[in-house]
Structure 1
Amino acid sequence: MAITVKKAGVITGVLGLLALGAGLFMNEPLMSSRSAFIDPSDREHVAIGKKIYANNCASCHGAKLEGQPDWRIRQANGRLPAPPHDETGHTWHHPDAVLIDITKNGLVPGVTAPSEYVSDMPAYGKLLTDHDIRAVLAYIKSSWPKQALAAQKEITQQRPQ
């Protein structure tokens, strides 16, 4: 049974589309879990996040999410102190996908920070799991007033996937 070049092209195209569809189907839960709004109403998730935050984040961002003093004023080395994660900071101005990326990869110039920006924010991607990072963010968000949480949820849901 001989297959013509035209038939082989059609078969290859169909197989390619099937492979693409299977890949999208298999990765869909991963993509939506990565971009979905992190809801701070799960008390168990928040409690786990609080412990992780205390062990990994509080030394810079404060035990009460208050950040470092004068966090908007550059230090002598040109870097900004760690900002607060409570409602007085700007964390709630960012979608969850950005907050996850910053936590995993640090502030990356040209990606999650201006091109020339240098930060003391370490990357936690090798130390914390995605679940850990989401738990920390749930804990942080659990301290925000309803208005800030609602605004951040809208920002997260409007961000292109």
Structure 2
Amino acid sequence: MQKNEVMNDFKKLCEIPHCSCETEQMREFLADFARSQGFSVNVDEAGNIHAVKGEPKICLQSHYDMVCVGAAPNLELIEENGILRAKNSTLGADDGIGVAMMMGAMREFANLECLFTNDEEVGLVGANAFKGKILSPNLLNLDSEEDDRVTL
């Protein structure tokens, strides 16, 4: 997975409105993307997207909603000295960068499970409502609050 590819995916995600409780366009984009990569896709009543391909040993999980303040969801990206930010709004990197990393993994791996949860920023709504069955023996959450550890 190339760093530039992940950043290009992240920038594409920034073009799609996905404020908490207003995630329909992002949900359609991600479900269509997963299908285009050969994944079977189930979208549940809470808007969670569960995508499976092959015989996965790990499930990657990120949420696809963002906190919107200021000009969001109309993001104007500014890149200076290797730093990406949004003008007059939040950037949505929590957890947009996790979603972009999952997109890269979906292109690269034949055996993978992905769970994109909805409306995490307003109380873990999607994660709490998920009733699907995770097939993989391990789940890696790509939205950790701790910079110095990975939790499986």
Fold match (TM-score > 0.5): no
Q: Between Structure 1 and Structure 2, whose CA radius of gyration is higher? A: 1
- Report the TM-score when normalising by structure 2: 0.32
- Report the TM-score when normalising by structure 1: 0.30
Give the number of the structure whose residues are more often helix, by fraction. 1
